[in-house]
Amino acid sequence: MVKDIAPKAGLSADFLWGFATASYQIEGATTEDNRGPSIWDTFCTLPGKVADGTSGLTACDSYHRTAQDIELLRKTGAKAYRFSISWSRIIPLGGRNDPINQAGIQYYSKLVDDLLKADIVPLVTLYHWDLPEALYKRYGGLLNKEEFVADFTNYARILFDALGDRVQHWITFNEPWCSAILGYSLGVHAPGHTSDRTKSPVGDASTEPWIVGHNILIAHASAVKVYREEYASRSGGEIGITLNGDWAEPWDPEDEEDRVACERKTEFSIAWLADPIYFGHYPASMVKQLGDRLPKFTPEEKKLLVGSNDFYGMNHYCANYIRHRDGPADPLDFSGNVDVLMEDKHGNPIGPETQSPWLRPHAPGFRKLIKWLSDRYGRPKIYVTENGTSIKGENDLPMEEILQDDFRVEYFRSYVQAMAEAVAEDGCDCRGYMAWSLMDNFEWAEGYETRFGATYVDYTNGQERYPKKSALEMKGIFDQYIGKV
């Protein structure tokens, strides 16, 4: 039906909204019920890698408190919950010939059942960075294409088998950009490879990130093939990958070279991993800058990859000002030979400071990036699989003040509105939105000092959960838009 007046903003009646988490960040119980170690367990033991010297040892203790997590979700009115599975709980040693751990399967199977009983739709991420340590030791983990693809595909098949009758939304990988760049270029995430020998004895940041990104793409496509051939026809579910990416604004909008640099930066961060899935090749700007350091797809790989997303999983947090650099790119560069800045030419900040040095809220960029993706990839179905913010100094406040997280409420309000406008006014196809995160949790290299939760977790007192204002306001925010198209 053609509508006379386009609504200001609106989301479909079956729009899925809720909250997201990840296994290593919330579960704890890292040695219980036969779970094998992951590369993050190991990385956290290295001095200086995690800001407060902590780890996921206890985290939010969700392994023992899933009932509380589900109760929390119910209290917020959430329709969906995105969580990830710890590979080394399912296969402690990780590999396709290693034993399967039934206790691990039972844990996630019960979680899925309990969510469904509570009327909450599960979105399951297979890989959110916690690679079994044994695979890293055995063959170099993500750097070894043949072994990694075979082992990931086997792991995925075990979960499709165990949960595929009840889980309809699968995410293969969370943010391969982070695995590749933070893990193999900057060395600030596990396994900590970098060319900087003051930080790590191993790594070559000029080549390894590109190999890792490539191998993850092939592993994604291989798991999707298995899912489609063996499961989707039976259960009707869908599968895709989640990519992170920020919006880019020109440092000097008058400068054509800065405007071109924005496009190149977005290609290096997002199209790097999305173009192969939609087009079967890397962006020309990357081929030009990286040359032979960028792996090539074989004809079979190309075929496997093209069309391997049923939906686009979008993680989005912020925006930057981008200034072009003159001269040739540094071999260690991963952003397209640009400066990534928080202020424009006149010193105006892109957004207010948060507790995360990389994160400045800028809601208009969310709408623009949704449109950019929609235009480039032919209006894919989009699930926003993460969006959220930390708050500067939040951890230093008394609990009563932490619970009044107006900064986060405003962040969610403005970002959800930006998404609703992208749908109603720009014609984009957003079907879901998962706020990061359901609760404060282990924020990787930032430890527990940086809180991203819509729920406060009291780490000093039995990991008790207290919903912040943002957890309780989310339903009201979505009610304004859902069903109003």
Q: Which positions are catalytic?
A: 175, 386
Q: 23-52 mask for ligand PNW (x: CB under 6 A)?
A: --x---------------------------
User: Nearer Cβ to ligand PNW, position 25 or 207?
Assistant: 25
Tell which one of 249, 443, 451, 457 touches ligand PNW (CB under 6 A): 443
Q: Is the separation of the CB atoms in 458 and 89 below 8 Å?
A: no
What's the closest the beta carbon of residue 429 comes to ligand PNW, in angstroms? 22
**Sole window of 95-103, 146-154, 171-179, 333-341 interacting with ligand PNW (rule: CB under 6 A):** 171-179
Residue identified by tokens 């989009």 is: 382
| Rounded least distance, CB 233 to ligand PNW, Å | 31
At residue 46, φ and ψ (nearest 5 deg) are -75, 130
Cβ 188 to ligand PNW, closest distance in Å? 8
> Binding pattern to ligand PNW, positions 207-246, x when CB under 6 A?
-------------------------------------x--
- Which residue in 466, 221, 174, 470 sits closest to 182, CA to CA? 174
Nearest CA among 89, 230, 236, 81 for reference residue 160: 230
**Minimum CB distance to ligand PNW, residue 340 (Å):** 10
Q: What type of residue is 241?
A: I
Q: Report yes or no: 86 and 104 within 8 Å, Cβ to Cβ.
A: yes
Length of the chain: 485
Contact mark string toward ligand PNW, 374..403, x via CB under 6 A: ------------x-----------------
For the chain, state the CA radius of gyration.
Answer: 21
DSSP assignment string, 177-236: HIIIIIHHTS--STT---S-TTT-SS--TTTHHHHHHHHHHHHHHHHHHHHIIIIIHHH-
Q: Which stretch binds ligand PNW (CB under 6 A): 68-76, 153-161, 173-181, 293-301?
A: 173-181
Pull the structure tokens for residue 153. 């595909």
Q: Which amino acid is at 335?
A: S
Nearest approach in angstroms of CB 360 to ligand PNW is: 11
Closest CA relative to residue 320, chosen from 414, 249, 391? 249
Which residues on neighbouring strands pair with residue 381, listed in sequence order? 429
DSSP string of 333-348, one letter each residue: --SSSEEEESB-TTS-
The binder of ligand PNW chosen from 358, 406, 462, 476 (CB under 6 A) = 358
57, amino acid identity: L
- 444 Cβ partners below 8 Å, 6+ apart? 25, 40, 50, 129, 189
What letter does residue 349 receive in the DSSP assignment?
B
- Determine, following the binding rule CB under 6 A, whether residue 22 of this chain makes contact with ligand PNW: yes
Per the CB < 8 A criterion, the answer to whether 194 and 185 are in contact is: yes
Nearer to ligand PNW, 216 or 232 (CB): 216
Rounded-to-integer distance, Cα 60 and Cα 62, Å = 5
Nearer to ligand PNW, 178 or 232 (CB): 178
Binding ligand PNW (rule: CB under 6 A), the pick from 127, 268, 366, 452 is: 452
Among 27, 98, 175, 394, binds ligand PNW (CB under 6 A): 175
- Minimal distance, residue 133 CB to ligand PNW, in Å: 19
User: Both tokens of residue 56?
Assistant: 């996921």
Cβ proximity to ligand PNW, 83 vs 478, nearer residue: 83
107 is a site residue for ligand PNW (CB under 6 A): no
Q: Tell me if 94 sits within 8 A of 155, measured CB to CB.
A: yes
315 binds ligand PNW (CB under 6 A): yes
Nearer to ligand PNW among residue 24 and residue 155 (C-beta): 24
* Position with the least CB separation from ligand PNW: 358
Nearer to ligand PNW, 162 or 314 (CB): 314
Closest approach of Cβ 96 to ligand PNW, in Å? Answer: 26
178 binding ligand PNW? (CB under 6 A):
yes
Whole-number minimum distance, CB 254 to ligand PNW, in Å? 28
Q: At a CB cut-off of 8 Å and minimum separation 6, what does 259 contact? A: 250, 253
- Buried b / exposed e over 468-478, threshold 16 CB at 10 Å, is bebbbbbeebb
Report residue 450 CA to chain centroid gap.
17
Name which of 189 and 368 has its Cβ closer to ligand PNW.
Answer: 189
- Residue 445 Cβ, how far from ligand PNW at the closest point, in Å? 9
Site for ligand PNW in 64-93 (CB under 6 A): none
Q: Confirm or reject binding of residue 266 to ligand PNW (CB under 6 A).
A: no
Part in contact with ligand PNW (CB under 6 A); list of ranges 100-108, 174-182, 270-278, 399-407: 174-182
Q: Find out whether the peptide bond into 12 is cis, omega within 30 degrees of 0.
A: no
Binding residues vs ligand PNW (CB under 6 A): 22, 25, 174-175, 178, 244, 315, 358, 386, 436, 443, 452
